[in-house]
Amino acid sequence: MKKNKNKNLYLSDRPPLTLVGKIGLFVSYLVLILWSLAIVLPIFQMVSSSFNGNQGRNIMLNTEFAFSLKNFEYLFKETHFLTWVINTILIAVATALVTLLVVSFTGYAYSRFRFKGKKASLMAIMLIQVIPTFVGITAYFTMQSIIESKIPIFSRQVMLVLIYSAGGIASNTFILKGYIDSISPELDEAARIDGCSNMQIYRLIIMPIARPMLSIIALWSFIGPFMDYLISKILLTSPETYTLATGLFTLVNDERNMNQPAFAAGGLLTAIPIVVLFIALQKQLVSGLSSGSVKG
C-alpha cells in the first residue's frame, strides 16, 4: 500500500484556522471575558458589601471583609422594606395576570381573525412602542388625581398596575401574534371539523402550544414593577406605599438616610423573587416547547 504523503489532511469538516481566523477567535474570547467581568464584578461587589460588617454608610472597596448580617437587620428594622416587598409583589402579580389575560386574547384575535381596522391598529401598536414611557408621566399624574377625586377606592397602586399592563399589552400583543402565526392553521381546521368552537380552539390548541411565549411575557410583566423607579416615584407619595425600587433609592439619595451597604443588601433580596420565578418558568418553557413540537 502506498503511504499517503499529504500532510495537509484533517479529519474535521472545517479547514484549520488561518492567522486571521485565530486573531478573530482571540478577540471574540477577549470581548466575551471582558463582558462577563463587567457583569460579574458588580454582582460580586454587591454580595460582598451586603454581608460585610466593616462597611460604614458608604461602600468601600478596600475594606477588610467581616461576615455580618447588620445590613439586613437595618433593612428590616429601620426601613419599610417588608412593606415595599409586599407592595411590589402585589403590583407585579396583578400586572402579569392582567397582561397575560388581555394579550392572550388580542394575540389570538390578530393572528386568526380578519376584521376592519386590523392593519391600522397593528400600526398603532407599533408606534406606541416607540414612545418612551416617561413622556406620559404628567398625564398619568393628572389622570390619577381626577379619578381619585371621583372614585376614592381607585388607589395609586391600581393606577400603576394599569400603566404597566397597558405598556405590556401594546408590545406583547405584537410578539404573541407573530408566535401564533407560526402555528399551522390546519390545527384550527381539524379542530373545527371535530366540532370545536373558536374559544375551544383558543383554549385547547393555541394556548398550550403558545405556553413558552406566554411564560416569557409573564416573566417580563412581573419583572417590570421591580425595575421601574420613575413612574412609581411620581405616583406614590408616602414611604408606606413605595415599591422596592422607589424605597431602596431613599437609602442612597439622601445624606440623612444614606446607607449604601443596606441598599446593596436590598438589591440582593430583590433579585430572589425574580430568580425563583425564572427557575419555576423554566419547566413551563421546556414542557411548552415539547408540547408544541408534538402537536405541530
Q: What are the residue ranges spanned by the domains of the chain?
A: 19-70, 72-295
Neighbours of 156 (CB within 10 A): 20
- % of the chain exceeding 90 in pLDDT: 16
8 A C-beta contact, residue 167 and residue 230: no
Cα separation, 187 vs 193, in Å, equals 10
Neighbours of 60 (CB within 10 A): 13
Q: Please give the distance of CA 41 from its chain centroid, rounded to a whole number.
A: 22
What is the per-residue pLDDT for 196? 86
What is the per-residue pLDDT for 294? 44
8 A C-beta contact, residue 63 and residue 54: yes
What is the per-residue pLDDT for 296? 43
Cα separation, 147 vs 150, in Å, equals 5
* Section 17-33 average pLDDT: 89
Q: Please give the distance of CA 197 from its chain centroid, rounded to a whole number.
A: 34
Is the model's pTM score more than 0.75? yes
Q: Which fold has domain 72-295?
A: MetI-like fold (1.10.3720)
